[in-house]
Amino acid sequence: MTQNEYLRGQRISPKPITGKETVAELVENAFLAYNAGRLAEGCRLFAERMLEDDVTVGMSLTGAMTPAGLGMSTMIPLIEAGFVDWIVSTGANLYHDAHFGLGMAMHRGTPFADDVVLREEGVVRIYDIFFDYDVLLSTDRFVREVSARSEFQRPMSTAEYHYLLGGYVLEREKALGLSRKSVLGAAHAAAVPIYTSSPGDSSIGMNVAELALSGSQLRFDVSADVNETSAIVFFAKVHGGKSGVLIIGGGSPKNFVLQTEPQIQEVLGISEKGHDYYLQLTDARPDTGGLSGATPSEAVSWGKVDPDKLPGTVVAYLDNTVAFPILASYALARRKPRKLKRLYDRRTEMMRELTDSYLEAKADRDARAEAATGGGAPNLK
């Protein structure tokens, strides 16, 4: 590159902040470098490219975001605007999300309280969030009572479970005169499927496990989760669309939303290239071996991200309780709502297309393997 090519970027000459700026204006005017610059790039990537009508957006969620109110302030508006089409979340975020839909209170507190005293007083702390211990017990009872109902007595994907549970949370919201309090309820109404990559690793899974001891037939079908999420991505791509991932944090949900492409390519043997867009907000470094810090360029080597689309990837190293609301506000200001894709309602159709393509690819592989061995048994030595 020549000097002129290196110096093509926007000149740094921001207008003075007046206090009258919208969030979107602040991002465009003052977020010019370092991780503010990366967040601004991520905002533009999300609003200008990932939210095109032909892009299916999957979001992963880790960290205690819903107890901090980000479910109500940030996730529900994105869901209702059609900006998030499917979700992979930790079970803990969904469990704590249910508190709000059930009319229970979470309070702003302090991270400097004496936890021994809090325990004695029956107060639970999530950093600087306080709530009554009875909130846990009441939510546990609700989860058990609902999960014991007849429609739950079968193996099911976590998306099926969360859709059914979300319907009951939505009913409770309405009965209490509440509105737009629960991500589970909003996702149910919008038919946005929510998956949990580790369904046993939360209080929801713990309560389902308790029911199993008394004869419940409810079981989480993790294989269905793997195949359904892969089917969502495959369906988007095979019909001429694109796939984008919005990664809030990292951990197991991040891998689960990204592993859809290796599942399609490596395991099922279907020709594919990887996700088209990759936007991650994280505070984890990439050099410690933790998945939360794994970069999009590293994901290319696994087939998770299309190598030709690497310029369409952004990682902003920021606290998600700051960055995520800013991203959402920017997108809602700069982009009109999209028509809901209602992917939950299309799971059967999407699974049929994935299964047909897998069987076709498998038959082709088997035929080639038979031709290579002259029709005899393969040599397994």
| Residue 312 CA: distances (Å) to CA of 69, 305, 308, 348 | 30, 10, 9, 31
Q: What are the tokens at 92?
A: 């803990």
Q: What are the tokens at 182?
A: 């629960």
CA dist 98 and 89 (Å) reads 13
| Residue 34 CA: distances (Å) to CA of 38, 39, 144, 157, 212 | 7, 9, 47, 41, 50
Q: Active-site residue 304, yes or no?
A: yes
Annotated catalytic residue, options 304, 309, 341, 381: 304
Cβ atoms of residues 299 and 270 within 8 Å: no
Q: What are the tokens at 240?
A: 């001429």
Query: What SS3 string covers 15-33?
Result: CCCCCCCCHHHHHHHHCCC
Sole residue written with tokens 């939505």 = 170
> Which residues are the active-site residues?
304
